[in-house]
Structure 1
Amino acid sequence: MFVSNTHPSYLQPLDRIDAATLGADAHAKVARFLAQRDANAVTPLHALPALASELGVGSIHIKDEGFRLGLGSFKALGGAYAVMCLVLEEASKRLQRTLDVADLQSPEVRAIAATMTVTCATDGNHGRSVAQGAQLVGARAAILVHAGVSEGRVAAIARFGADMICVPGNYDDSVREAARLASERGWIVVSDTSWPGYERIPGLVMQGYTAMVGEALQQLPAAPTHVFVQAGVGGVAAAVAGHLALVMGERRPRFVVVEPARAACVHATAQAGHLVRVAHGEPTVMAMLECYEPSPIAWRVLSRVAEGFMTVDEADAIAVMNRLARPAGDDPTIVAGESGGVGLAGLIRAVASPDAKEQLGLDATSRVLVINTEGATDPARYTELVGLRPDQVLAAA
């Protein structure tokens, strides 16, 4: 369930490129881009004092990305940001002058964007962000979804004008098909996972995620001692862990990566000491985390800065959804999707395990940060698992 990081590169400095991608200067650039977006607002950070008391830790704070840019997940920060950067780079090259985010709506830049098609594979949330980014700048988007993506999530992407392409198989199959089609048709792949020879654009996606880390550090009453973040291919975990390591240095918190037991590719990689592709088995309810092969750049970061890796079961994720919807004491009501509360589920499992609790130093002085990475991005599925519609949960808050 929990394994410590024993990789030879653990506690070594980040690779130079990763440090540039995830550091303070990169975060400042992301913030500048965000300031130009409609509906931009800092997402809430909530304290969970009742749950902290139950678990025997000093405090728990949860950063709620269910309100991010109207898309309902942290993914709104990555894909759209990468699309905006790519359009500006292409326009700067063609127009032979340096352009910035304020130029994106100029007629000449939009005319260039209209000649560009961006594509990606998605479980739902990343594709929505890429599609929205394309719509914002006037580019085209072709989004690939696999058989496990719900109709509700497909419709949520399509409303941004994207061409939807259905692919047999799982997420990793759709990633490979997106790369093939892009090569054949001259599209630009905006993926949140990397592969050999393809790292810069996933790096931009991860760079976008640093926005929520910077916000959280400003909102917290004291620096966290522990951070639990969920992983699919590992991009968000690496972005959070990498940024914390770069801006906090020796004061950085202990960082734990949490995955579904049915799709624990980062956990398996940590155990093996090298990149591992795990077998595709029974689907997990944690649909946004159902990935079977880590992103190499994410692993490059996590191998250096993650304290440990752990898995949670299906029931753990569902229990957290329900706990946040029906909180105890003075804890706030929070709508968390199937993958949203997985970091919190990891914390709960860790304190219940004497070995993990001791290894991580979790005690009454611990200040824990977790991230609700998505709200009810599939309202029908949320209602099925929680027994209440998202609006009913929010109305009771």
Structure 2
Amino acid sequence: MNLILNSLPGFAEALSTTERRFVGKDAPDQVRPFLSLWGRTEQTRLVCLPEIASELGLARVLIKDEGQRLGQGSFKSLGGAYALMVLFKQLLESHLNQKVQVPQLLSPTARDFARSVTVCCATDGNHGKSVAAGARLLGCRSVIFIHAGVSQTRAEAIGASEIVRVDGNYDQSVREAERVAAERGWLLVSDTSWPGYEEIPAIVGQGYTILAEEALRQTGEQGHGNPTHVFLQAGVGGFASSIAGYLAERLGRENLKVVIVEPDLAACLFESARAGELVSVTPTEPTIMAMLECYQPSLIAWRILEKLSSGFMTVTEQQAKQAVRRLADRVEEPIVAGESGAAGLAGLAAAASDGDMRAALGLSSDSRVLLINTETATDPASYTDIVGRAPAEVAAGRAENASA
């Protein structure tokens, strides 16, 4: 069974004061003022999947579709760009020796200062795209480090001032970005953390709480009731820990089961749960779930997930592909989801279809499950190969249904 129930010593411990500051009930209030700098603050849609709920014997399956978030193609636009804005505000206040209001970050004075700032990070694609977009908005220079496995299509979509390709995997690109940033005095905006580097990834994660707040509001508005389960895909765990933390604080942890889903080819959280402590895993071969291809967990994410996650599970390449097709082939409201974006659905389908896992996670005909499509088709060629249609064709089907 590709599921490990949480038996860690920290399970059910309360979140710390610092963790609640970044992912608790009030976290979205810290993020919201900065969203106005994008010039577009509309929420993404929450879609009910009744055919999947019926097939899996569940009361509700809902998916929050982040594929169109802020025009950036993924939920990551809420994290990296937001963190950069927060950090740039601090730098500008220090430079001017005075307080600065959020709208002033786009002022001529701020733009002049921004020319002296270079921001960098490592990425599989989406986080770097967010940081680069924030840098363009503010007027900073951005240097984004990518690893050998990032496709040229994903690299070109980042839109950075400069792209640096690093031999090796994601974790090696993280280390190289850290090294160069320290050497050149650049601002490093990483979404993963390690000892001594924790606050900035926490700010990145704080940005993601906006989508969790939206999801709860939409479930209420649509009359679905609060979720009883949430299946969250994970790379280093930053996204999963932020969403899990916010939902648990809002709903009460006793009312929600959190399940972490990873590719079986890059399951660093799953293996950490098995080992009983944070561990890294040895890379074998690349996964099509490219945005989840991480081999060392984020330190701050692990601290939260070991307290809140009911279980950790893995999915195969074929299960991810099947989930992508399921969402694309819907008659009503087809959803364009990349392989990483559909991983949560892949996990739910596997768990609900297996008697042992279903019982272990308390899935039943009364269960209301929340999923999050974290990205659109970030590699259109790969998506077309899986689905048999281009992303635009699938999206066009949604537009036709809406106008019918």
TM-score calculated relative to the size of structure 2: 0.95
Q: Who is 1:303 aligned against?
A: 306
Distance 1:322 1:179, change over 3 A: same
Structure 1 Cα separation of the partners of residues 70 and 386 of structure 2 = 25
**Quick check: 1:228–1:369 contact (8 Å CA) kept in 2?**
yes
Q: 1:354 is aligned with what amino acid?
A: G
Instruction: Using the TM superposition, give the Cα deviation of residue 155 of structure 1 relative to its aligned residue in structure 2, in angstroms.
Output: 0.7
Contact 2:6 2:273 in 1 (8 A): yes
Asked if structure 2 preserves the Cα contact closer than 8 Å seen for 1:244 and 1:252, the reply is no
> Equivalents in 2 of 1:252, 1:84: separation in Å?
34
- Deviation at residue 144 of structure 1 after TM alignment: 0.4
User: Is contact 2:144-2:162 (8 Å) kept?
Assistant: yes
Counterpart in 2 of 1:321? 324
* 1:183 equivalent in structure 2: 182
Give the secondary structure class of the aligned counterpart of 1:175. helix
1:253 aligns with 2:256: yes
Aligned AA (2:61): I
Cα shift at 1:244: 1.0
Unaligned runs of 5+ in 2: 399-404
Structure 2 counterpart of 1:175, one-letter code:
V
2:232 is paired with a residue of what secondary structure? Answer: strand
Alpha-carbon displacement from aligned partner over 1:244-292 (angstroms, at most 9, x marks no partner) = 1222224541100000000000000011111111010011010000000
User: Are residue 34 (structure 1) and residue 35 (structure 2) matched?
Assistant: yes
User: Do residues 228 (structure 1) and 231 (structure 2) align?
Assistant: yes
Question: Aligned letter for 1:185?
Answer: R
Contact kept, 8 Å, 2:383 with 2:391, in 1: the verdict is yes
Shift, 1:353, TM fit: 1.6
* Distance of 1:66 and 1:20 partners within structure 2: 27
8 Å CA contact 1:321–1:341 kept in 2: the answer is yes
CA distance in 2, matches of 1:364, 1:265: 31
What is the DSSP-based 3-state SS (H/G/I as helix, E as strand, rest coil) of the residue aligned with 1:368?
Answer: strand
User: SS of 2:165's equivalent?
Assistant: strand
Q: Which residue identity is paired with 1:206?
A: G
* Aligned 8 A contact 2:75 2:374 in 1: yes
Question: Which one-letter code corresponds to 1:313 in the other structure?
Answer: T
Deviations 1:347-384 (A, max 9, x none): 00101221211111101100000000000111122112
Separation in 1, partners of 2:315, 2:394 = 24
- 1:182, 1:191 → 2: CA distance? 11
Deviates more, 1:246-255 or 1:220-229: 246-255
Structure 2 residue aligned with 1:219: 218
Which of the residues 291, 295, 298 maps onto 2:294?
291
Q: Which amino acid aligns with 1:9?
A: G
Paired with 1:130 and 1:123, the residues of 2 have a C-alpha distance of: 12
2:48 alignment partner AA: A
Structure 2 counterpart SS, 1:258:
strand
Q: 2:266 pairs with 263, 266, 274, which one?
A: 263
The C-alpha deviation readout for 1:283-331, integer Å capped at 9, x for no partner, is 1010000000000000000011111100000000000111111126xx5
* Equivalence map 1:1-397=2 (5 Å): 1-158=2-159, 161-220=160-219, 221=223, 222-250=225-253, 252-327=255-330, 331-397=332-398
> 1:133 deviation in Å?
0.5
Structure-1 residue corresponding to 2:401: none
Query: Deviation string for 1:43-102 (max 9, x for gaps)?
Result: 000000011000000000000000101111011110000110010011112212222321
Q: Secondary structure at the match of 1:192?
A: coil
Aligned counterparts of 1:91 and 1:352: Cα–Cα separation in 2: 53
Size of the aligned set, in residue pairs, is: 393
Q: Which amino acid aligns with 2:53?
A: A
Moved over 3 A (4+): none
Classify the secondary structure of the residue corresponding to 1:194: coil
AA matched with 1:183: A
Q: Distance in 2 between matches of 1:273 and 1:393?
A: 43
Contact 2:253/2:308 (<8 A) preserved: no
**Structure 1 unmatched ranges of 5 or more:** none
Distance 1:238 1:87 in 2: 25
Compute the RMSD of aligned alpha carbons: 1.1
Cα deviation, residue 25, structure 1:
2.3
> Following TM superposition, by how much is the alpha carbon of 1:39 offset from its aligned partner in structure 2, in angstroms?
3.1
1:55, 1:205 → 2: CA distance? 34
Q: Percent identity?
A: 52
